[in-house]
């Protein structure tokens, strides 16, 4: 928007003729937040999950103003604009096809990224380079190289970053993690991470039957693909059909492992490292895969054992704790472990500044304070490295040893070549 300069004389003359009355919302009164204290946000790729994030976690926050949507699909741009404008009672939500145009806006402080998997890291990097803080859905990287680039970019540009591993901010999971960290379980040698049911590690590399591309303003197919290898258009890709395709998906391991591995890493204090051993299971569903950290603790990928989704279980010499979606409190080997549940949570809040609110609110608080988020770039990267290394072991059909210091496999150049993927010409981002 252009602003016209106004002379002091003209301004004062207008002020005398029309006494200035500032609405309470502008001054931050009556429960409102002054514009100067608001976080201005935009969204990138807000489909089903992103729409849920917007409705539940962004629009209700009084200190957030959502002002723009970028999506390669017109139907999603229009839908998000309608939701946003209806919420604020105006027509101000801007629409973009090219994310670089939206990221060039100086007034936007942070972005919500909820594309499908292939764009999470690349869009995050572009946003942080443009000076924006980032909340991105998971899985937050497609390769080890992408994770490294997210960590390096956040550090270089001083950006706040939160991966959408929201269970790290949910009280029941927090208490389960604290029981391990505080030593209440004794010596912990095994942790279990829930794998999604069904699915496979062996992904498709074939194209779907080509169909005519829609006009660019309806679907920008080239931008939808982004850095991924080119393939002809098919509408099912836009409706979840990208699942199980190697170019777009992190396999059955990444589906829930991007949540549950991160929980295990955080509880064990392994935020800055990854397991050193990955066994090949020689089957499509790697149920029972036992990955081993350098200290001997095993992280077991397991499909059963919980009555809810995305569960974790930590087993120690003096007890165990298990938690999953839908658990009001963790399940424990003996009730005394939860006797001081509220104190455990309260002490955690004092130690970390956690507010007990949702994962997005934790991000927004960090945007204001510049404190590290719970799902920070390093935890995201190292837990997703565990996902990627586990995939590579299955794809190559052999056990692999990993050096977490060098971030390379031990004496395996073929496996090392799978730590990155070539990016399409014209779309190179890292």
DSSP letters, 169-218, are GSHHHHHHHHHHHTTTT-SEEEEEEEPPSS--SS-B-SPPPP-PPPPTTT
At residue 115, the pLDDT reads: 98
Listed in sequence order, the residues at least 6 apart from 107 whose beta carbon sits closer than 8 Å to its beta carbon are: 40, 67
Return the C-alpha torsion angle 12, 17, 19, 22, nearest 10: -70
CATH class of 32-166: alpha beta
Query: Do residues 228 and 424 make contact, with C-beta atoms less than 8 angstroms apart?
Result: yes
Domain 167-201+249-419: top CATH class: alpha beta
Q: How confident is the model at residue 31 (pLDDT cuts 50, 70, 90)?
A: low
Q: What are phi and psi of 90, to 5 degrees?
A: -145, -170
Helix or strand run (H / E) with residue 360? helix 359-369
Rounded mean pLDDT, 155-166: 98
**What is the chain's Cα-based Rg?**
23
| Residues β-bridged to residue 96 | 70
Residue-wise pLDDT for 2-20, tens only, equals 333 333 333 233 333 333 4
For the chain, what is the mean pLDDT? 92
- CA 330 centroid distance within chain: 24
Lowest mean pLDDT among 19-28, 78-87, 178-187, 342-351: 19-28
**Which structure tokens are listed for 225?**
């693909």
Q: How many other C-beta atoms lie within 10 A of the C-beta of residue 107? A: 10
Taking a C-beta distance cutoff of 8 angstroms, is the pair 108, 68 a contact?
yes
**Annotated domain spans of the chain:** 32-166, 167-201+249-419, 204-242
Rounded CA separation 93/70 (Å)? 10
By percentage, how much of the chain surpasses pLDDT 90? 89
**Beta bridge partners of residue 400, listed in sequence order:** 278
Sheet of strand 331-332, all strands in order from the earlier edge strand to the far edge? 331-332, 319-323, 312-316, 188-194, 298-302, 289-292, 277-278, 400-403, 408-409
DSSP state letter for 419: G
Query: Mean per-residue pLDDT for 274-290?
Result: 96
């Amino acid at each position: 928007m252009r602003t016209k300069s106004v002379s002091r004389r003209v301004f004062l003359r207008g002020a005398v003729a029309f006494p200035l009355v500032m609405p309470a919302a502008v001054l931050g009164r009556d429960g409102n937040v002054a514009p100067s204290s608001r976080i201005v946000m935009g969204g990138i790729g807000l489909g089903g999950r992103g729409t849920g994030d917007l409705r539940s976690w962004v629009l209700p926050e009084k200190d957030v103003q959502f002002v723009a949507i970028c999506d390669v699909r017109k139907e999603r741009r229009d839908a998000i604009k309608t939701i946003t404008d209806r919420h604020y009672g105006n027509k101000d939500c801007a629409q973009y096809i090219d994310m670089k145009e939206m990221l060039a806006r100086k007034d936007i402080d942070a972005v919500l990224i909820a594309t499908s998997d292939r764009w999470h890291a690349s869009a995050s990097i572009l946003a942080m380079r443009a000076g924006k803080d980032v909340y991105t859905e998971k899985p937050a990287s497609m390769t080890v190289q992408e994770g490294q680039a997210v960590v390096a970019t956040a550090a270089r540009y001083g950006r706040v970053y939160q991966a959408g591993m929201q269970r790290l901010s949910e009280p029941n999971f927090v208490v389960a993690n604290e029981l391990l960290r505080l030593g209440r379980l004794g010596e912990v040698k095994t942790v279990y991470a829930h794998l999604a049911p069904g699915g496979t590690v062996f992904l498709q590399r074939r194209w779907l039957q080509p169909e005519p591309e829609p006009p660019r303003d309806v679907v920008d197919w080239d931008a939808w693909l982004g850095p991924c290898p080119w393939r002809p258009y098919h509408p099912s890709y836009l409706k979840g059909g990208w699942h199980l395709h190697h170019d777009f998906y992190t396999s059955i391991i990444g589906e829930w492992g991007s949540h549950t591995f991160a929980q295990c890493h955080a509880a064990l204090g392994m935020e800055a490292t990854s397991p050193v051993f990955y066994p090949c299971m020689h089957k499509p569903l790697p149920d029972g895969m036992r990955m081993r950290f350098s200290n001997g603790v095993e992280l077991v990928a397991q499909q059963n054992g919980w009555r809810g989704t995305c569960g974790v279980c930590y087993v120690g010499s003096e007890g165990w704790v298990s938690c999953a979606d839908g658990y009001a409190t963790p399940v424990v080997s003996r009730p005394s472990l939860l006797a001081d549940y509220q104190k455990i949570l309260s002490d955690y809040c004092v130690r970390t500044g956690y507010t007990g609110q949702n994962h997005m609110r934790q991000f927004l608080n960090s945007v204001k304070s510049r404190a590290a988020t719970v799902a920070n770039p390093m935890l995201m990267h190292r837990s997703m490295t565990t996902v990627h290394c586990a995939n590579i072991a299955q794809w190559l059909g052999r056990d692999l040893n990993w050096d977490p210091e060098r971030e390379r496999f031990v004496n395996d150049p073929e496996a090392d070549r799978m730590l990155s993927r070539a990016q399409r010409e014209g779309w190179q981002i890292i």
